[in-house]
Structure 1
Amino acid sequence: MEYDKTTDPELKKKYVDTIMMLYDAMANCYAHKGIQLKGCNTDSCYNGKVGFVLGRKAYDMFYTYKMPYDQVYKTDKEAIEKACKMCEYSVLIPFGYTLADQYKKGKVSKEEAREIIEKAQRIAEYNIKHDKNYKQYWEQSLKRMDLDLKDVEKEVFDCEFFKKKLRPLYDEKKDDSKTVKYVLVTLKQQGCPEDDPMVMEVDSTWKIYAEDYNRKLTDSLEKANPALAGNRLAKEGKYVEASEKYKEAINNETDPEKKAQFLYALAAIQFAHLNQYSKARANALKAAKLKKGWGKPYILIGDMYSKSAKSCGDAWNQRLAILAALDKYYHAKSIDPGVADQANKRISKFSGSKPKQEDGFMRGYKEGQVINTGCWIGEKVKLRFSK
């Protein structure tokens, strides 16, 4: 081709002008029925021929001669309007690309874009159904056109358009979670209401995928971190199972601070839900040892003592248990200002439950004397009397 051989810009321009003139002359000839075609007796038939020629012209303008997009779009649009169903699939890609360009530049209105896009899509859908020889080419070209017009369509079309457009995609690929999510998000972005039947249908399908995904993700995370399973099981009220998972997490963990957190969580379950006070205290003390300056384990132990005080014998021994609880609360706030409020509330609540002075004297004890609380607590406390 002489156009490809020359490097002279002026000569190239002359070649292009000549080729464009020949396309226009051929289209004009068909338009005025200057060529009599056998079996072509109607205006629509000759318009189809005009559109066919203009489609070829637009293709060359876009791919071969890299002409301005406004000129390509104008020619491609005319080809689509003239040829209608007689178009070639090759018009779609230049059309989609140049329309998107012209629309973004404000040279094509929403109304014009909406009208010509719908026409191009109807042509493509018709030929996909009826043109068996070129069906796959129509499908590929339509996909590319839709991709180029994706942003334009979102601005010029409403919910009903996207419902119609996305219904075949959803019906074909509803077993693909990514497709289902794309359809749902697009419909909502285009203003489809929550109670729209199609939105509700797609949303229902998506929830199945989401639930399955979340379950698999949870299973995977819990397998890697048993403490997550322990937390979930505790929330579900399955405290025995939760405690076993925390034990597994403790055995697997090497980081001291994380292990301390797991020990504390296990102690809290053993105390509050399993009535395993001695085990709970042991684990709380282990947690405190691993994480220096942490007051929460001591608050927890104090709560164990105060809660179990009434089961520790007579009134005297019950009040000794309260002293042990108070000692833990005081210690907690002395090492960890972060728990001071919790500790002070408990101290205020139980300070009036210290042993009575007359009971101490009757037993031969003096204030400041160190004695054993007895009961399961077995702590040594400095005797203080209630005022």
Structure 2
Amino acid sequence: MMKKIIFALLVLVATSASAQNGITNDFRFGQGEDSLRCIETITIVNVNLNNKDYATAYTAWKTIFNEFPVARVDTYTNGVKLLNELIKKESDPAKKSEYVKELMNVYDQQIKYLDKLQEITKSKLSAGNILGKKALSYIQYYNNAPVDTIYSMLAKSVEMEKGQSEYAVTERFMKYSALKYKQDKSHGEQIIEDYLNASIYIVEVLDKYHASIERSEKKYQEEGNPRDSLNAIGYGKMIDASRISKSNIDAYFINSGAASCEDLSKIYAPTLEANKDNIEYLNKVLSVMSMLKCTNEDTYLTAAEYALAIEPTAKAAMGCGYRYYKKGEIDRALEFFDQAIELETSITTKAELCYKVGLIHFSLNNYGKARAYANKALGFNNKYGQPHILIAQCYGAANKWSEDDVMNACTYYLCLDRLDRAKAVDPSSKREADKLIAIYSKHTPKVEDLFMRGYEAGRSVKIGGWINETTKIR
């Protein structure tokens, strides 16, 4: 059977006696006897990889890697897998070091022959993505590598891939930018630029996964294929991981001490007037300062007005909203906030803007409107925990719907429902949710008081008034 398979594959390749490796011609398996040897060796690699006989697979793989570098795309994915396994099992430091060097060479050679490899795969590869993977491996195996070396690899990868970068690459890029700033304070302006780009790109990654999960869930509902349901679960996990990366990106920048709100104002204020017609520059100022919560700074507010005069954008509208909010003109501020939500194109950012507007209404004791905006945020991103927490806080702050205080205390069951939901959909909200759960749990009704009113654990109870929701006695 194996001979028949090999013969069938040989029909696809040339039978000339001249040995070639596909670099200078179209014979990627080689020619003549070389083509037979190539295909037999590929079979040895695959069989032994499946059997986890990595030593035997490695010997055969090296032949393909060195002599037939464009025979198959999986020469490179197999190489990464093999070498990682060999590195993990190797106890001799010298041999381990050689395997690590060889692993780096796998990434380099894959990039070198990328154009040829692109011709034989439907899944298009990119040099930036491969370089990002190399950087992650470099970090893993070279503990004392110079920060500059790693930063340069990551920066080049992220510059090439932008919003298509893997979330782990974007996160490490920000980490090493912060480490570089720690060593070299002249990196100050660049770390701000890096933070701006990393923040934009990680949101694009989140948007991509949100769109993917939505497609998979819709397809599952229409066709009932379990694979689509599993895909949706997988994308959900990617969203959770990407959200953690997003938080880490913020933390790396903030903890670097590279720029306080005052520092940013000192950097941008002197150049603002000269750039008042430069929408790209103004949007950059708005993005960086809003990410660092510097929205009360005059520099930010002025940049927002300049930007809105040129082009209505979400960033500019949000900035003008903050300006009017600071002046106490709340209704005018809310108009701009609504405009910002309408103009924003990223569903992740739309959800965050809705949540922020909900917080403003909460601070004004407009609990019904706060809940409405929180629910609007969940409509854009149902994996977002903060809106659930906000709704719980609204219920906890305005729980007087009955003349019976015991029934009013049942409102706290709804608070707990929302907080449990926040933790379930968004692990990053767990700490805050748990703190509130500890508080609200102390205010739920006593068992004997509920019993006197005909209620027991597990029974549903309708919370009236503006809340108008049903919960269960716990």
Sort the TM-score into its range (normalised by shorter chain): 0.3 to 0.5
Q: TM-score, normalised by structure 2?
A: 0.35
* TM-score using structure 1 length: 0.42
